[in-house]
């Protein structure tokens, strides 16, 4: 990863080692110029030197921090250093099966919504065909892991669409709706999963989620199911004070964008958990929108100022960068 200079050294002897050591064969394979330095350290002219200077001033974050999104806000508020690893330093991460599965499900639900909006009548069989067509193999631990996850996902999608049959019959206003909203110093962008209009004109927004919500209990993997995919379905909506939807940043950003960029007044915003087959519903008022705008601007300002101090906690154990982070909690 050296950008200016790379120095490779090898010693034939070291403190506490009596035998002579040979240089690593990788040095020769590198094909770089080399020279031997005498063991007599008193010969200063043979000593290698490196320039010493003051540390460079930190550069302005190169992540396009004047454009942000709900996911970036959540990432920064979880841990600013995690944000830096991902969006400023662009540290690569391995594909994860949860993201692959989530992408597959979102594409299926989007295509179903578009088909109904065109006047078509997709069936559950059509949905499962889309599921197979959009299946992504990236990130799974093994072929058995992928096969088990795919089968569990098929049962999950079947149960979800059986409960929410309206997704196969009720036409949305739009699906996968992009938005771009200009705030005083920051542009806020994103994409809304589904917008509907009821018979009496109310606007309903749905954000589809795969995985478990904050209120879900993790279950021990049952016998014969080594990957812990629970077949238990939690039915019915769950809303109210303190629900996931009440504190969800994504829904707050959606509400702000709907009113200010898309000129729609959302009457209800819902997190729909596909794997748990349940919903969490909330509302956002114009006063809430004002607070969301301030929150976005504050986060963007801190990013531009380079405030990336780590905030370790329980979330460290799930962080993609825990192996290279000096502050990660191990407990």
Q: Give tens-digit pLDDT for 3-26.
A: 888 777 777 766 555 567 777 777
H/E stretch holding 152 reads: helix 143-163
* pLDDT value at residue 243: 84
* pLDDT value at residue 215: 42
Residue 220 confidence (pLDDT) above 50: no
Task: Label each residue of 206-271 as H, E or C.
Answer: EEEECCCCCCCCCCCCCCCCCCCCCCCCCCCECCCCCCHHHHCHHHHHHHHHHHHCCCCCEEEEEE
Q: Give tens-digit pLDDT for 292-304.
A: 999 999 999 999 9
Counting other chains too, the contacts that 279-282 makes at CB distance below 8 Å and 24 or more residues apart are: 279/237, 279/238, 279/239, 280/213, 280/215, 280/237, 280/238, 280/239, 280/243, 280/244, 280/245, 281/237, 281/239, 281/243, 281/245, 282/239, 282/243, 282/245, 282/246, 282/248, 282/251
Instruction: Report residue 65's pLDDT band, with 50, 70 and 90 as the boundaries.
Output: low
Instruction: Report residue 150's pLDDT band, with 50, 70 and 90 as the boundaries.
Output: very high
Give the pTM: 0.73
Q: Give tens-digit pLDDT for 267-320.
A: 999 999 999 999 999 999 999 999 999 999 999 999 999 999 999 999 999 899
Q: What percent of the chain has pLDDT over 70?
A: 79
Mean pLDDT of 134-156: 96
Mean pLDDT of 140-144: 94
* pLDDT value at residue 161: 97
Half-sphere exposure of 87 (CA within 13 A, CB side): 26
Handedness of CA 134, 270, 196, 165 (dihedral sign): positive
* pLDDT value at residue 26: 76
Q: Give tens-digit pLDDT for 223-244.
A: 333 333 333 222 233 333 468 9
Residue 87 confidence (pLDDT) above 50: yes
Beta bridge partners of 195: 174, 205
Q: What percent of the chain has pLDDT over 90?
A: 67
Q: Give tens-digit pLDDT for 36-63.
A: 776 665 555 555 555 555 555 555 554 5
More confident residue, 231 or 33: 33
* pLDDT value at residue 157: 97
* pLDDT value at residue 66: 83
Q: To the nearest whole number, what is the mean pLDDT of the chain?
A: 84
């Amino acid at each position: 990863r050296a950008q200016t200079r790379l120095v490779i050294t090898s010693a034939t002897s070291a403190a506490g080692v009596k035998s002579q050591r040979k240089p690593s064969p990788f040095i020769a394979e590198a094909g770089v110029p080399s020279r031997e330095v005498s063991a007599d350290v008193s010969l200063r002219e043979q000593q290698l030197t490196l320039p010493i200077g003051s540390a460079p001033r930190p550069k302005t974050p190169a992540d396009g921090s004047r454009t942000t999104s709900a996911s970036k806000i959540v990432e920064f508020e979880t841990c600013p250093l995690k944000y830096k690893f991902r969006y400023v330093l662009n540290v690569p991460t391995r594909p994860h099966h949860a993201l692959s599965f989530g992408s597959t499900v979102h594409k299926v639900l989007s295509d179903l919504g578009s088909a109904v909006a065109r006047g078509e009548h997709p069936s559950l069989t059509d949905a499962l065909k889309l599921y197979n067509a959009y299946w992504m193999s990236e990130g799974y631990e093994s072929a058995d892991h992928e096969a088990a996850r795919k089968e569990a996902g098929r049962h999950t999608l079947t149960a979800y669409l059986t409960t929410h049959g309206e997704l196969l019959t009720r036409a949305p206003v739009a699906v996968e709706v992009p938005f771009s909203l200009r705030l005083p110093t920051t542009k806020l962008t994103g994409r809304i999963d589904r917008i509907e209009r009821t018979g009496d004109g109310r606007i309903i927004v749905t954000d589809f989620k795969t995985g478990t919500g904050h209120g879900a209990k993790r279950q021990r993997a049952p016998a014969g199911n080594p990957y812990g995919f629970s077949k238990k379905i939690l039915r019915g909506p769950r809303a109210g004070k303190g629900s996931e939807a009440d504190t969800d940043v994504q829904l707050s950003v959606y509400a702000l964008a709907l009113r200010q960029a898309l000129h729609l007044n959302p009457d209800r915003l819902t997190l729909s958990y596909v794997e748990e087959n349940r919903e969490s519903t909330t509302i956002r008022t114009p006063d809430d929108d004002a607070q969301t705008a301030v929150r976005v601007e504050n986060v963007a300002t801190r990013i531009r100022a380079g405030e990336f101090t780590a905030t370790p906690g329980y979330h460290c154990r799930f962080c993609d960068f825990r192996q290279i982070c000096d502050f990660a909690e191990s407990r």
